Amino acid sequence: MSNDIVTTQSGVRGCCCAKPPLVNASGESSSTDKGMPVYKLSVKGAHCGSCKTSIEQALSSVTGVTAATMDLSSGIALVSGSVAADSLLEALDGASYSASIID
């Protein structure tokens, strides 16, 4: 396996298996899930890569979620899919993170 940094089809630099992010550097949606609702959540208490992974896994476990990503620097998580916002907040609460929906 190569450790080369590549540019993916979306123009995102990273490893060869990098998925395009749902959050760009300014915390705005860059989702490609056309027609799917995208929820923007402010998540409190995330400090490291392990937190990021836990948050993304908790959000991805909710039925109807098609993609979830967390940006540690902004504290913003973006989730796309056909899902109720309350379900996302409950999933994060179950993972010991407090969050609120950003309009």
**For position 58, which CATH number holds?**
3.30.70.100
| Sequence-distant (≥ 6) Cβ neighbours of residue 90 within 8 angstroms | none
Counted domains in the chain: 1
pLDDT band, very low/low/confident/very high, at 9 (cuts 50, 70, 90): very low
For residue 7, is it within any domain?
no
* Residue 29: domain span: 21-102
* Strand pairing category for 38-44 and 76-81: antiparallel
pLDDT in tens, 29-47: 444 456 778 999 999 999 9
pLDDT in tens, 52-65: 999 999 999 999 99
Q: Helix, strand or coil for residue 91?
A: helix
Task: Give, as one character, the DSSP assignment of residue 71.
Answer: E
Residue-by-residue DSSP string for 3-51: ---EE-TTS-EE-TTPPPPSB-TTS-B----TTS-EEEEEEES--SHHH
Q: In this structure, are residues 65 and 58 in contact, taking their beta carbons and an 8 Å threshold? A: no
For residue 14, is it within any domain?
no
pLDDT of residue 15: 42
pLDDT band, very low/low/confident/very high, at 22 (cuts 50, 70, 90): low
Please give the model's pTM, rounded to 2 decimal places.
0.69
For residue 70, is it within any domain?
yes
For residue 33, is it within any domain?
yes
